[in-house]
């Protein structure tokens, strides 16, 4: 049986536009409108899951999806950096940010490391292969990065080199532990930032 997992990244939110570590804000009006425009453009799924963040739940709702909130697909826990801009954190803690961006096992913010996130997403991805039919997941961009890193069996150090734009689709398909990747397809909306 071929497994198919379709990841959808959330619509834009103020934290995303401000390069601020996600702090639970809602999607903005532009993001909500674009998601509503894209409703119906996704493939039919046997199972729909959603990261527990506000912006992923709101994106799923705007897309017309009724998904099950899945904690394993939650965004990266950035601990005490939550709500701060990367620029502000880098100015206050340059060594910590440098370590965090170069060492996937590092978590100077007191949250979880990239390695921990990748492991969590890998376990979920393995469970998703048991679903008969497509799984559709509205998840944080870092969850998409982790899934791609794990599916392609590439080093976690590559994580930060994968860009995930708002309201884009990344698809994994495969069987017997071998995944193929189709990434970055925009939903049926024009001019995604």
Q: Convert 48-105 into a string of H (helix), E (strand) and C (coil).
A: EEECCCHHHHHHHHHCCCCCEECHHHCCCCCHHHCCCEHHHHHHHCHHHHHHHHHCCC
d(CA 179, CA 140): 20
Q: Which two tokens stand for residue 167?
A: 């309201």
In the block, which residue shows the tokens 């992923």? 56
Q: Exposed (0-12), middle (13-18) or buried (19+): which is 99, by Cβ within 10 Å?
A: middle
Q: Is 192 helix (H, G, I), strand (E, B) or coil?
A: coil
pLDDT at 1: 79
In the block, which residue shows the tokens 């049926």? 188
Distance between first and last Cα of the chain: 36
In the block, which residue shows the tokens 């509503």? 36
pLDDT at 2: 87
pLDDT at 41: 92
Q: Structure pTM?
A: 0.92
Q: What is the pLDDT along the chain (193 residues), one digit of tens a residue?
A: 789 999 999 999 999 899 999 999 999 999 999 999 999 999 999 999 999 999 999 999 999 999 999 999 999 999 999 999 999 999 999 999 999 999 999 999 999 999 999 999 999 999 998 898 999 999 999 999 999 999 999 999 999 999 999 999 999 998 867 899 986 666 765 444 4
Asked whether the beta carbons of 8 and 63 are under 8 A apart, the reply is yes
40: left (phi over 0), alpha (psi -120 to 50) or beta: left
From 147, 157, 143, select the one nearest 100 (Cα to Cα): 157
């Amino acid at each position: 049986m071929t497994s198919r997992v379709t990841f959808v990244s959330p619509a834009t939110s103020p934290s995303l536009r401000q390069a601020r570590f996600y702090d639970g804000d809602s999607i903005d009006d532009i993001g909500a409108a674009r998601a509503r425009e894209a409703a119906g453009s996704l493939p039919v799924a046997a199972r729909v899951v959603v990261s527990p963040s506000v912006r992923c739940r709101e994106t799923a709702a705007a897309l017309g999806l009724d998904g099950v909130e899945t904690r394993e697909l939650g965004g990266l826990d950035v601990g005490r950096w939550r709500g701060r801009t990367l620029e502000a954190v880098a100015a206050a803690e340059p060594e910590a940010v440098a370590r965090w961006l170069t060492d996937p096992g590092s978590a100077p913010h007191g949250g979880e490391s990239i390695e921990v996130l990748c492991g969590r997403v890998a376990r979920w991805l393995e469970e998703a292969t048991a679903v008969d039919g497509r799984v559709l997941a509205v998840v944080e961009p870092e969850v998409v990065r982790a899934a791609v890193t794990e599916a392609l069996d590439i080093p976690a150090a590559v994580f930060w080199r994968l860009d995930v734009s708002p309201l884009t689709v990344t698809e994994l398909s495969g069987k017997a532990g071998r995944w193929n990747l189709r990434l970055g397809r925009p939903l049926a909306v024009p001019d995604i930032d």
